[in-house]
Structure 1
Amino acid sequence: MTDTTLSDLAAGTVVKPGDAEWDEARAFHSGIGEPTIVVRASSVDDVRAALRYAAAERLEVMVRGGGHSAWGAVPGGVTLDLDALDSIHVDGTLVRVGGGATWGAVAHTLAEQGLGVSSGDTASVGVGGLTLGGGIGWMVRAWGLAADQLVGAQLVTARGDVLELTDASHPELLWALRGGGGNFGVVTRFDFRAHELPSVVFATLAVTGDARPVLRALRDTLQDAPRELTVTYMDVPEMDPSAPGGASITACWIGDDEAAARAALAPLLALDGVTETELAVRSYPDILMEMPAADPDAPMPGFVGGNTLLRDLSDDAIERLASFREANQASVLFLRSLGGAFGDVAQEATAFPARNATWFAMAGAFDIPGLVHDGNRPLIQAEWDAIEALGEALYGNFTVSTDPALVERMYSPETVARLAAVKRDWDPQNLFARCHNIRPS
């Protein structure tokens, strides 16, 4: 470790193997990492020093916010922990959020002022990773992606320069941040345009029986539904007593109009096998899930499957998704409605793919001995591959794979070329490779 790059960091900021804090510092939400060092940045200058050190030592950088990313498990490199950079400042509808903040904290702060930003579903997810990957959330049909609400950012480049980004000052770089991942620097502050959000109506509908007619009705209902409504469909196996299995529809309606929400959901509530279990006005922060951190003594099983952004939830797609779930006992099926404001954004306006998609779909079998074995694993993957082929692109935020080949399934060739040109300008040495990596052109 060179004094010329890290000597200005406070004691305890740099954590190395053998230090008393090492096990704590290398743990992330989804597991235990094996980096070369961990830098716990408490200022922009700390970030700059860490990047100078990484460049001098030719070490790749993994930026950690909420810590849900699978990239924390890749050995070596510098883990740059932004946890302390978690400030949240509200000025009217402009919200400035530190790169280490989590969505739960942002939601609670904004709720105090009757505001909201469409984010993910989980309170502990980091603002940074979700936004840079796009960010499909509960208000995606009304407000678009988290990245669509991004109006500016503070970015530390691979050279250690600190840039203030707007569409006027750095349009191409900000374009790349809206869905291009963590390839272009360390975002130490995100600037969002928030929306009025006094409350939401949240509904949960239990589903029993054949999924096919329910999914068809869900598709047809959302084609003309008000933009205030976003829904998910989930069918999960019984994994343990604390996580009951079964199928359900959850719905989020912007505002406190229970009658309007109930009217929008009426076609679903009229179906055989669909039962209302909750429909009530709630605070937006209260609907965000709390996901327990990974238990090193009980690692999650592997996952055979994937996700895709579907232009249409066709009868063929419904049949394949329902059949996949039925054929694999320990499998999960998840769908989220898109369209509306998500589709209003021109494809070339952001790096995020498939603006023509109306549904996001994910399915996979948990790789549990006795249920999945070497003989049927390729067959399960082939079933999923046939489903993915119906879609437009893969959503990077919803994969736990670190396979570099996924980039070609996430973006069009034209988008990859444009991202690679931005990468060449701002990170020609590919310091930021611990992500769905765009290589410099």
Structure 2
Amino acid sequence: MVNDDISAALGGSAIRPGDPDWDAARRFHSGIGDPALIVRASSVEDVRSAVALAAREGLEIMVRGGGHSAWGTLPGGATIDIAALDDVTLDGTRVRVGGGARWGDVARLLSSRGLGLSSGDTASVGVGGLTLGGGIGLMVRAWGLACDQLVGAQVVTAAGDVVEVDDVAQPELMWALRGGGGNFGVVTRFDFEAHPLTAVVAGELGIESDARPVLRAMRDLLPHAPRELTLTYMDVPPMDPSAPAGASIAVVWAGDDENAARAAIAPLLATPGVVPRDLGLRAYPDILLDGPEFDPDAPMPGFVGGNTLLPRLDDDAIERLAAFREANAASVLLLRSLGGAYGDVPPDVSAFPAREATWFAMAGAFDVPGLLDAAGRARALDDWQAIEARGAGVYGNFTTSTDQSWVERMYAPPTLARLAEVKRTWDPGNVFSRNHNVRPA
């Protein structure tokens, strides 16, 4: 039972089991939580009070913004809901975003001013979780990760202090915030440098042939393609509600030059079985998806697979990825092109791993009764592990696992050691542990 002093100190913003608002407060975009306490913060001072009191009571903290994280499903601890901290303001090309804002809101404001950022794929995803985990967006080759565009932040630390962070004031903490996850405090404001963007050229290419020659054509095209071009290959089964069934390539060109975009993908369109669909100018917010919310009556099945950051998409990797999809009727395969601005960032600027990667790849079999038995699960896992072994790291934002062993798969040992030193400075008691947790050195 949570100490009554916490509820008294936080007033109506503190919600506990049995309170009238409890059932609504513990439900979030991706599930239903069972924490000991939920604090709905409407100001930075609310966050400070919640952090200080939770730390005093020995409650692990989970920060909720957009609510897409699986960490909210873990029982116990204190959830600090910062969804109300969603202001978005512009000063020239500098955009200041509240820690609880969602990407759709940011995109709409930026678009109205002829600006853009390489954010996530989904409008309802929180700015905070995506950025702190890196953020492999739809314009990643043009401008890098979401965290690469981060130039400053306001952080409430485990001690309850409010710290302004940038590359000059707190360079080590700034480095850790670019890809090190939510280990170091509650980020109540993100400062980004936006880019001129009047529109994007976007659309879809249908695939009516075997995946292998198409994936080879994509691989051969991207090293020489303009940075404005980012491609995403996806093959999903009919059961996935987030995308039409079958294989396709999403095309995003960061700019309004439709002729240049079409010229860039011309070699891909020459590949047998690749068919253009609805390619044209779009407003930046319109390319963001609307992901379905959690439905307790139809929970998502388990997922046997993972993701990896591939330095090379060679023929063997293509064969393994295509064969995985073919071997599992209820499975998904996704690849997104990297390189370009993503690869320009040296390792001492951000904690995000594997800047040498040229492709992000994800594959997994849905654990559906009747389609996947114990032998099938073991085979799918073995097949995936052989693919992941070819990578240089994994992307924490693209997993629903709360297994803490993921952190060692995400970062190379020197990066993890450096993150642990930053953690010791800012959160020596590991209060912020409901994440891909970096333990203090």
**1:6–1:50 contact (8 Å) kept in structure 2:** no
Deviation, 1:2, is: 4.8
Output the CA distance in 2 between the equivalents of 1:330 and 1:164.
47
SS of 1:187's partner is strand
What pairs with 1:16-415 in structure 2 (closer than 5 Å)? 16-239=16-239, 244-415=244-415
Matched residue, 2:10:
9
One-letter code aligned to 1:253? W
The whole-number CA distance in structure 1 between the counterparts of 2:386 and 2:411 is: 19
What residue identity is the alignment partner of 2:163? Answer: L
Distance change in 2, residues 1:141/1:74 (3 Å) = same
Matching residue's letter, 2:169? S
Measured after TM superposition, the shift of residue 4 of structure 1 is: 5.7
Per-residue CA shift, 1:377-411, capped at 9, x if unaligned?
Answer: 11110000000001000000001101111111000
Deviations 1:351-396 (Å, cap 9, x if unpaired)?
Answer: 0000000000000000001111112211110000000001000000
Q: Which letter maps to 1:252?
A: V
1:90–1:381 CA distance, 2 compared to 1 (3 A): same
Overall identity of the aligned pairs, in %: 68
| Deviations 1:139-184 (CA, angstroms, capped at 9, x unpaired) | 1111111000000000000000000111110000010000000000
Quote how far apart the aligned CAs of 1:348 are: 2.3
Contact 1:256-1:281 at 8 Å conserved across structures: yes
| Superposed displacement of residue 6, structure 1 | 5.0
Q: Partners in 2 of 1:96 and 1:243 — Cα distance?
A: 32
In 2, the alpha carbon distance for the partners of 1:258 and 1:92 equals: 27
**2:321 alignment partner, SS class:** helix
SS in 2 for 1:52: helix
> Are the counterparts in 2 of residues 363 and 384 from structure 1 also a CA contact under 8 Å?
yes
- Greater mean deviation of Cα atoms: 99-108 or 270-279: 270-279
Task: Please give the per-residue CA displacement for 1:275-330, whole angstroms capped at 9, x wherever unaligned.
Answer: 11111100010010001101011100000000000001111100000000001100
Preserved contact between residue 5 and residue 49 of structure 1 (Cα < 8 Å): no
CA 1:190–1:255 in structure 2 vs 1: closer, same or farther (change >3 Å)?
A: same
Structure 1 residue matching 2:405: 3-state secondary structure: helix
Give, in whole Å, the separation in 2 of the partners of 1:173 and 1:180.
9
Cα distance in 2 between the residues matched to 1:240 and 1:104:
22
Instruction: Note closer, same or farther for the CA distance 1:92–1:240 as it changes in structure 2 (3 Å cut).
Output: closer
Residue type at the aligned position of 2:407: V
Given that 2:236 and 2:243 are in contact with CA atoms closer than 8 Å, whether structure 1 keeps it comes out as no
SS at match of 1:128: helix
| Structure 2 residue identity aligned to 1:401 | S
| Equivalent in the alignment of 1:425 | 425
Counterpart CA distance in 2 for 1:274 and 1:417 is: 45
Alpha-carbon shift at residue 5 of structure 1 (Å): 5.1
3-state SS in 2 of match to 1:312: coil
Q: Which runs of 5+ in 2 are unaligned?
A: none
CA spacing shift, 1:27–1:368, aligned 2, 3 Å:
same
Contact 1:2 1:53 in 2 (8 A): no
Give the SS at the match of 2:122: coil
Counterpart secondary structure, 2:35: coil
Helix, strand or coil: the match of 1:46?
helix
Q: Amino acid of the residue matched to residue 226 of structure 2?
A: P
1:265 CA drift (Å): 0.7
Query: Any conservation in 2 of the 1:321–1:333 contact (CA below 8 Å)?
Result: yes
In the alignment, does 2:434 pair up with 1:434?
Answer: yes
- Alpha-carbon separation, structure 2, partners of 1:74 and 1:114: 41
Structure 1: give runs of 5+ residues left out of the alignment: none
Residues 243 and 189 of structure 1, relative CA distance in 2, 3 Å threshold = closer
Find the aligned partners of 1:372 and 1:348 in 2 and give their Cα distance: 43
Change beyond 3 A, Cα 1:21–1:3 = closer
Measured in 2, the distance between the counterparts of 1:52 and 1:162 equals 12
Give the C-alpha shift of residue 9 in structure 1.
2.9
1:389 and 1:18 mapped to 2: Cα distance? 47
After superposition, the C-alpha distances for 1:390-433 in whole angstroms (9 at most, x for unaligned) are 10000000011011111110001001110000101110110000
CA distance in 2, matches of 1:249, 1:22: 42
Aligned-partner residue type, residue 421 of structure 2: A
Q: 1:117 offset after TM fit, Å?
A: 1.1
TM-score with structure 1 length normalisation?
A: 0.98
Contact residue 204 and residue 277 of structure 2 kept, 8 A: yes
User: Cα distance 1:43–1:241, how it changes in 2: closer, same or farther (>3 A)?
Assistant: closer
> What amino acid sits opposite 2:27 in the alignment?
A
* Distance of 2:236 and 2:414 partners within structure 1: 37
Query: What's the offset of the Cα at 1:244?
Result: 3.3
Q: Which is worse superposed, 233-242 or 63-72?
A: 233-242
> Structure 1: how far apart are the matches of 2:41 and 2:74?
20
Deviation at residue 212 of structure 1 after TM alignment:
0.3
Q: Cα distance 1:206–1:73, how it changes in 2: closer, same or farther (>3 A)?
A: same
Give the count of matched residue pairs.
440
- Write the distance in 2 (CA, Å) between the matches of 1:372 and 1:386: 19
Q: Secondary structure at 1:9's aligned position in 2? A: helix
Distance 1:404 1:97 in 2: 29
**d(CA) in 1 for partners of 2:3, 2:193:** 41
**In 2, distance between residues paired with 1:390 and 1:136?**
19
